[in-house]
Amino acid sequence: MSTLSHRIDNLSESATIKMAKMGRELAAKGVDVISLSLGETDFFTPDFVKEAAKQAIDQNFSYYTPVPGYPELRKAIAAKLK
């Protein structure tokens, strides 16, 4: 007998998890897969990114950004792409 609620017992696997599982299964069979399911990288985070993230936390950048983004960052991206 289950100790979980009826609703929990009847939950189905999420589409994202299902896609990731299918991608792993195909890759294991030798299929060249580009997985866009979980949003996880296939490489370690570079040290300069880790350090920048630590600095951002220390500077209290711990909330969601404004919807259009930070003005300084938008200007820097625009300058880089010109």
Range name among 4-13, 14-23, 40-49, 56-65 with the lowest pLDDT average = 4-13
pTM reported for the whole predicted model: 0.48
Percent of the chain with pLDDT over 90: 66
What are the domain boundaries of the chain? Answer: 1-41, 47-81
Among 13-22, 32-41, 49-58, the minimum mean pLDDT is found in: 32-41
Tokens 């490489």 sit on residue: 43
Would the pLDDT of 1 be above 60? Answer: no
Give the chain's mean pLDDT.
91
DSSP the chain: ---S-HHHHTPPPPHHHHHHHHHHHHHHTT------SS---SSPPPHHHHHHHHHHHHTT--SPPPTT--HHHHHHHHHHH-
> How far apart, in whole angstroms, are the C-alpha atoms of residue 52 and residue 38?
24
pLDDT of residue 81: 96
